[in-house]
Amino acid sequence: MNRRFPNRLVELAERRSALIAGTCIAIVLLAGIAYSVLLGDKLRYPDESAYCTLSDHLLSEHVYSFDGEHATAFMPPGYPFVLAGLRVLGGDITAFRIVNFFLLGACMCLMYRILAEHSAQLSALLGVALVMAYPVLFYTAGTLYAQTLVSCLLLIVVYLSLRPRPSWFLAIGRGALMGLMVLTVPVYIIVLAAVAGWHGLNFKSRGSLKLAVSLAIAAVMVGSWSIRNFAAFHAFVPVSTNAGMNLLRGNSEHTTPNTGVNVPIDEYLREAEGLSEVEQDNFFRGRAWRFVRENKGNALRLYCLKFLNYFNYTNKLYAASEASSLKDMIMLVTYGPLLLLLMVRLALFKKVRIQSWEWLLLSTYVLSGLAYAAFFTRIRFRVPFDLMLICLVAAFVGALAHKRWGKGSSAVEGR
């Protein structure tokens, strides 16, 4: 092969990266719209129906409820409120899916900007291409789950946090998005911890006041919902009442590293009959902690195995009809190389220095696994954070390709 061909290819990709990336994003949007129309109003998973039911009652009875009469806090409120807002605008289930694909397109745009500003144009283009080559993101956008929304929120928060001197307007906006992110998936409070820790280690006092304002706004938003819960249940419920059940599913004598929601907890459900929603949450949480206290060694071993399972390419699905060896194979050949390249990148840290901005993405990715391992781990939970992995891999491969075949500097110093 002519050695000049790779050089010209890299040069062309860098020169036309914005145009190529825009074309890729347009393809994803068009395919997503067609896929949404094809699926129509079909809901394939129980949580999809639950989200839609909550949003419908928000509009019709103005109450966060499954039946329109009794208040609930079982599911976090972020996504149902977003769906309710789309309902007000005239959206239906097909429109909800289309919005998800626009959010996925926004994720691709944000990833492009992060990599273009902190790595290289070639890395930015590779990031967009890797999203296209990771079909689970497309599949997830076709479901009425909160993952695509929080993917976009996560990338916006990361993008704003990486800016060297964010304005007060951006600091306030970041705080509102942080609050919505936690109200959508409470585990994402670890993102706030990662941003605060990374900021403190890299910038010390610079911009600390603006970060404090962002965190305060997020706390006020979560606190406001907690006040609503206290008024409805006369008990302290920070966000939702499903944490106890999820904790029990991840910490019981029947739990294995990959059982997920398929843990037989019927005996505990029978014991909890007649209890209120909050009492059930406390009961399940208590039983989970009892298991941990009485089986410390096994519980620690289970936690470590669940953390490792976080990086698995297959899960036991709640809906057996959705499982297939083909889907597992697709996950293996698309996720496996990304994880392998990250391992190579970390092994070569002495030769390819990890930039400060990469530490934020890496710490967020690892912390997400540690947080979910306290409950149970699923590919669906990991998908938004896989965008951090794609960014890291794109920066690494792009830097190597640029160094080998490109011109000029291979990377921009992390800010």
**In contact, 310 and 369? CB cutoff 8 Å:** yes
Q: How many residues does the chain have?
A: 415
* Full residue range of the structural domain in which residue 344 is found: 4-405
Q: Can you read off the two tokens belonging to residue 82?
A: 């977003």
Which residues touch 327 (CB under 8 Å, ≥6 apart)? none
Q: What is the pLDDT of residues 135-185, one digit of tens each?
A: 999 999 999 999 999 999 999 999 999 988 888 999 999 999 999 999 999
Query: 71 φ, ψ to 5°?
Result: -65, 150
Instruction: Judge whether 414 lies within some domain.
Output: no
- Map 310-323 to HEC letters: CCCCCCCCCCHHHC
Q: Among 415, 333, 335, 406, which residue's Cα sits nearest to residue 123?
A: 406
Residue 3 has pLDDT above 80, yes or no: no
369 occurs within a structural domain: yes
Which tokens hold the place of 260? 């997920």
Among 291, 287, 399, 284, smallest CA distance to 349 is for: 399
Contact 392, 117 (CB under 8 A): no
**186 half-sphere exposure, CB direction, 13 A CA radius:** 19
Cα separation, 80 vs 83, whole angstroms: 5
Q: Are 57 and 63 in contact (CB under 8 A)?
A: yes
Residue 335 lies in a domain: yes
| Domain annotation covers residue 76 | yes
The dihedrals phi and psi of 77, each to the nearest 5 degrees, come to -85, -15
85 in any annotated domain = yes
How many structural domains is the chain composed of? 1
Bridge partners of 65, per DSSP, are 71
Among residues 244, 211, 238, the alpha carbon closest in space to that of 222 is found at 238
Using 50, 70 and 90 to split pLDDT, how confident is the model at 406? low
CA distance 206 to 48: 43
Structure tokens at 364: 């967020």
Where b means 16+ CB within 10 Å and e means fewer, 238-257 reads bbbbbbbbbbbbbbbeebeb
With a pLDDT cut of 90, the percent of the chain lying above it is: 77
Q: Is residue 201 in some structural domain?
A: yes
Residue-wise pLDDT tens digits, 173-228: 999 999 999 999 999 999 999 999 998 887 655 678 899 999 999 999 999 999 99
Least confident of 94-98, 135-139, 265-269: 265-269
Q: How far apart are CA 144 and CA 49, in angstroms?
A: 8
Does an H or E element contain 179, and which?
helix 168-184
In a domain, 412, yes or no: no
Say if CB 403 and CB 395 are below 8 A apart: no
Asked if residue 410 belongs to a domain, the reply is no
